[in-house]
């Protein structure tokens, strides 16, 4: 029995996407102990994933913090990992490789760089969809892949009967009109217009709800929707997953909850401007579709509502 390390720091959407890759790694290492290196926001989430024997915290402090770096590397070395699957594929994790396994190749360290297709630069390879990249990485590492292209994030869900009772939730549409503060280019400006159209068409058939993150609660008050909080604070990731999974439909900007919805097999729409493409971030599924435009301010609420109406029926 060997110790195997998986590295996935974040973000939330990326973790939902990596669920299939993690399952395939676990399925191919049934007789081994699987450990995860991740960051503080996702420790409690990953404790619900029973594929891992234990979760290791990486505070991701500056690489110039030599004391922290030394202690983290010393701890990792104690496990005597025989294989590392780097699903983060960042400059930081490549730096860790140079410390832990400086001369190793694919036999020990599986990453984008160690599995890069011949004749293709990393910059070129990164233009492929993220799930296709995971699939190539794992197959090149000898992993039989069955789940990587169809991640299932349902392992993250937990009971929300308390929230459903408190807010009298039955049939509801959940909206995510938010984005990171520095990425307002991702925000579609017509969510209130869409809410008005949904209420007009469907009367009282659906509640319209939003579930803001910790820094989005004030912004949530701008929308004519029920704001779902858990004792006055943002719901945790696991309850958010359940809110999404039990919804009737999802409409979202390109943000973490949109990726959760896609990999919870929900019906919904995600709205993309020019910042990236749905194909590159591997978000579309049989039920979860993207509307891609060059300028989100020119995407009309009528257009989005017609897509919603045809999908929800």
Residue identified by tokens 């029926």 is 313
Q: Quick one: angle between helices 12-27 and 130-140, nearest 10? A: 30
Q: What is the pLDDT of residues 232-270, one digit of tens each?
A: 999 999 999 999 999 999 999 999 999 999 999 999 999
- Name all contacts of 71-74 with Cβ < 8 Å and 24+ positions apart: 73/99, 73/100
Rounded to whole angstroms, the Cα distance separating 260 from 238 reads: 11
Residues 101 and 218 in one domain: no
Residues 136 and 170 in one domain: no
| Amino acid 299: pLDDT | 97
Residues 164 and 146 in one domain: no
Give residue 123's pLDDT band: very low, low, confident or very high (50, 70, 90): confident
Residues 85 and 70 in one domain: yes
| Amino acid 313: pLDDT | 74
Sign for the CA dihedral angle at 264, 267, 273, 279 comes to: positive
Full residue range of the structural domain in which residue 104 is found: 3-152
Q: What is the mean pLDDT of residues 86-90?
A: 96
Residue 272 token pair: 């993309």
Residues 306 and 178 in one domain: yes
Give residue 271's pLDDT band: very low, low, confident or very high (50, 70, 90): very high
Q: What is the pLDDT of residues 272-289, one digit of tens each?
A: 998 888 899 999 999 999
Residues 131 and 180 in one domain: no
The contacts of residue 48 (CB under 8 Å, 6+ apart) are 155, 156, 158, 238
Q: What is the mean pLDDT of residues 75-82?
A: 97
CB 225 within 8 A of CB 208: yes
Q: What is the mean pLDDT of residues 108-133?
A: 91
Domain boundary (101, 123, 152) is at: 152
CATH number at residue 211: 3.40.50.2000
Q: What is the mean pLDDT of residues 219-223?
A: 96
Q: What is the mean pLDDT of residues 114-134?
A: 90
Q: What is the mean pLDDT of residues 43-60?
A: 97
Let me know the angle formed at the C-alpha of 220 by 216 and 224, rounded to the nearest 5 degrees: 170
Residues 30 and 72 in one domain: yes
Domain boundary (152, 176, 201) is at: 152
| Amino acid 48: pLDDT | 95
Count up the domains in the chain and report the number: 2
Residues 201 and 138 in one domain: no
Residues 172 and 50 in one domain: no
Give residue 29's pLDDT band: very low, low, confident or very high (50, 70, 90): very high
Residues 279 and 306 in one domain: yes
């Amino acid at each position: 029995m060997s110790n195997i390390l998986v590295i996935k720091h974040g973000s939330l959407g990326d973790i939902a996407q990596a669920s299939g890759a993690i399952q395939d790694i676990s399925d191919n290492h049934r007789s081994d102990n699987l450990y995860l290196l991740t960051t503080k926001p996702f420790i409690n989430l990953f404790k619900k994933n029973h594929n891992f024997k234990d979760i290791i915290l990486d505070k991701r402090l500056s690489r110039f913090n030599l004391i922290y770096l030394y202690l983290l590397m010393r701890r990792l070395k104690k496990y005597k990992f025989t294989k590392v699957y780097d699903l983060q594929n960042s400059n930081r994790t490549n730096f860790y490789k140079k410390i832990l396994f400086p001369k190793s190749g694919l036999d020990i360290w599986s990453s984008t760089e160690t599995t890069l297709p011949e004749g293709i630069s990393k910059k070129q390879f990164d233009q492929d969809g993220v799930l296709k990249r995971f699939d190539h990485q794992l197959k090149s590492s000898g992993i039989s892949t069955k789940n990587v292209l169809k991640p299932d994030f349902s392992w993250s869900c937990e009971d929300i009967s308390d929230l459903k009772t408190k807010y009298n939730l039955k049939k509801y549409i959940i909206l995510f009109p938010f984005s990171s503060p520095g990425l307002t280019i991702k925000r579609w400006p017509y969510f209130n217009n869409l809410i008005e159209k949904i209420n007009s068409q469907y009367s009282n058939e659906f509640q319209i709800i939003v579930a803001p993150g910790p820094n989005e609660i004030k912004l949530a008050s701008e929308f004519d929707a029920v704001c779902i909080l858990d004792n006055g604070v943002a719901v945790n990731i696991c309850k958010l997953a359940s809110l999404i999974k039990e919804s009737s439909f999802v409409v979202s900007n390109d943000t973490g909850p949109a990726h959760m919805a896609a990999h919870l097999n929900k019906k919904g729409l995600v709205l993309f401007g020019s910042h990236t493409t749905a194909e590159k971030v591997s978000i579309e599924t049989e039920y979860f579709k993207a509307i891609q435009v060059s300028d989100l301010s020119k995407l009309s609420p009528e257009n989005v509502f017609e897509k919603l109406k045809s999908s929800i029926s």
